[in-house]
Structure 1
Amino acid sequence: MSVLVTGGAGYIGSHAVIDLLSAGEEVLVLDDLSTGFDWAVQVPENLYVGDIADETLLARIIAERKVEAVIHFAGSVVVPESVVNPLKYYLNNTAKSRSLIEACVKGGVKHFIFSSTAAVYGMTGEAAVSEDVPLNPISPYGVSKLMTEWMLRDTAAAHELTYVALRYFNVAGGDPKGRIGQSTTNATHLIKVACQTALGQRPYIDVFGEDYPTKDGTCIRDYIHVSDLAAAHTSALIYLRNGGSSLVANCGYGHGFSVREVLRSVERAAGHSIEIRQAPRRLGDPASVVSNPARIKEALGWTPNYDDLDMIVSHALAWETKLRERNR
């Protein structure tokens, strides 16, 4: 039996593949390589280049490779872009996920693990967000992911499919061994952009809004190391195999850092200051988003290994340095 990872050539998906392989899993990757990279796939012989909405391709992979579980990362992830181009997100994140889920049902796939997001919560006003707060996404990105959660909920009620939806908070860092990291061209992740600025690849970094009701006026986010997040997916797979019921769980550390605090961490890692400029708020950005991770720790037995902002930043900077050399 095998595990099919959609978007497995992308940032988070490629780290999940590494974690699954280290756990002894047979891993297949399906990716259209629109934002992912074939060189990031640790099992190139098991890479299928294609679309997650290609029902013929999915049926063949599931049948021929005896796919037991699907871990679904493929999709579009830029919140501001979703505001100006919502139909792209409802296609890539919702409509195509529906095709993938249907293929899993038809092919007899037992388990499904979904890459969801804290953006489903919107402006909660909670110091630490639990999974049971009312859901009110404020961007098409968040809505597109929530709609997929609903599809999974209803499909699991009607068919023999169990699922875990993991709601990510802010993912950052890179593989501690330096094999892979955040490599997407023109990525908007704060830590990546700050590292590029520290390396001279960008002349400055914008701080989008300094008038939020937070300790220093900048947005606060719960930053989770990508390797800890990858391990959560392996834990979710084991949980489902052991008979666990369908579950939605946060993936975060339960504490947050402001944009200014992150930038100071990058400056410490780089050993020099970077130019910081003030810019207007971005569309769809809540002031503070911090997780309550109690459920994932209790249900999945997940224990993070990299809960340290300076470590996250140092791994991100090391990868960005390596990527710069690779791209020369």
Structure 2
Amino acid sequence: MTVRKVLLFGASGYLGREVAAALTSHPGGAAVVRVGRSAPDAAGWVRHDLVTGGPDELADLLTTTSPDVVVNCAGRLDGTLAELVAANVTATARLLDVLPVAAPAARLVVLGSAAEYGVVPEGVAVTEDMPANPVAAYGITKLAGTALVRAAVGAGRLDAVVLRVFNPIGAGLPDGTVLGRAASAVRSALGVPGREIRLGPLGAYRDFVDVRDVADAVAKAALSAVRPDPVLNVGSGVAVPVREAVGLLAEAAGFTGRIVESDPVPARSGAVGWIAADLTRARLSLDWSPRRDLRASVRDLWSSAG
């Protein structure tokens, strides 16, 4: 079996690290060239920034590495409008501009987001064909990137797929997410008398998916011999109250203090009260389903944060 070469952008990030591990352990394996803005001076790593690097530099990288697959795990959750557009739209556009010329046979895998859907009917798992009406700049920019990929695939310019990732959790979760903030707050509060943490409202329902399951889906999309559908949901398929997930985190940490829901509603997703992924298409297109449960994912999150 021929080992496929994968060029992985954002390889040093939270998702990128797990994706690299999933690719290298996939049956048949993959030769992964890791790309990052601050890549180490080590074999198998290349330094490149999709936001600040020019198209000629990107074309040279693609021509030199000659990848079978390009995976983009880079992006931004927060920042100014200009920063979000640059990281989530312009970076994708640069790949779509350069790939058909520099590596026309390569498959492109891009990470989208559940935030693209916006407010959805409560109790109805969202399918990839449901209307997308994001409520904040992050979701708007992720949807714009997805739309560009859809258009390129529809025009026959390249083989590409967007994986709409719901709420990935696990070891190394950054503070920019609700459970990442909760873990950081619990860690600080454990050494303080009269322990108490303050978070935003926790009544919303979210679809939490283990980061390793996300990485497995990326590896399957990257290395599948069959061309995947252009947009696929990657989640657990279950909506869980955020309050319940935070409770599991407190349990894992041995935190018995008060959890006060007094901080402002997060702008990125505060208007969305309920969301869960319909995974039918991912199962059919990738033969993928999530394998880890929420409690185990939360334990892993605390093991790394605590």
Shared fold per TM-score greater than 0.5: yes
Structure 2 contact 182–199 (Cα < 8 Å) conserved: no
Aligned to 2:113: 117
Number of residue equivalences: 290
Post-superposition offset of 1:245: 4.8
| 1:195 alignment partner in structure 2 | 183
What amino acid maps onto 2:76 in structure 1? S
Moved more, 197-206 or 245-254: 197-206
State the AA in 1 paired with 2:158: L
Aligned to 1:220: 205
Distance 1:90 1:157 in 2: 23
- 1:56-95 aligned at under 5 Å gives the runs 56-78=56-78, 81=79, 85-95=80-90
Within the alignment, does 1:301 sit opposite 2:287 as a pair?
A: yes
1:170-197 C-alpha deviation (Å, 9 max, x unpaired) = 01012xxxxxx33x4xx22222222223
Does the 8 Å CA contact 1:122/1:135 hold for their aligned counterparts?
A: yes
Letter in 1 for 2:255: H
Give the corresponding residue for 1:177: none
Aligned to 2:30: 25
TM-score by length of 1: 0.82
Deviation per CA, 1:262-304: give whole Å up to 9, x if none.
Answer: 1210121112324422223222421112111111112110022
Deviation at 1:248, TM superposition (A): 0.8
| Cα RMSD for the two superposed structures | 2.1
Letter paired with 1:309: L
**2:11 corresponds to:** 8
- The 1-side partners of 2:142 and 2:176 are apart by 19
Matches within 5 A, 1:1-328: 1-23=4-26, 24-33=29-38, 44-53=42-51, 54=53, 55-78=55-78, 81=79, 85-109=80-104, 110-127=106-123, 128-174=125-171, 181-182=172-173, 184=174, 187-200=175-188, 204-209=196-201, 218-239=203-224, 242-277=225-260, 278-284=262-268, 285=270, 286-306=272-292, 308-321=293-306
Shift in Å at residue 61 of structure 1?
2.0
Q: State the distance in 1 between where 2:239 and 2:161 align.
A: 24
Quote the Cα distance in structure 2 between the aligned partners of 1:2 and 1:142. 31
Alpha-carbon shift at residue 106 of structure 1 (Å): 1.5
TM-superposed deviation, 1:46: 1.7
Measured after TM superposition, the shift of residue 104 of structure 1 is 1.1
Partners of 2:11 and 2:87 in 1: how far apart? 16
For residue 12 of structure 2, give the secondary structure of its aligned residue in structure 1.
coil
**Cα–Cα, structure 1 residues 44 and 246, in superposed 2: closer, same or farther, change >3 Å?**
farther
1:159 deviation in Å?
Answer: 4.1
Letter in structure 2 aligned against 1:119: A
| Uncovered stretches (5+) of structure 2, i.e. residues with no partner | none
**Helix, strand or coil for the counterpart of 2:266?**
coil
Measure, in 1, the Cα distance between the counterparts of 2:20 and 2:170: 16
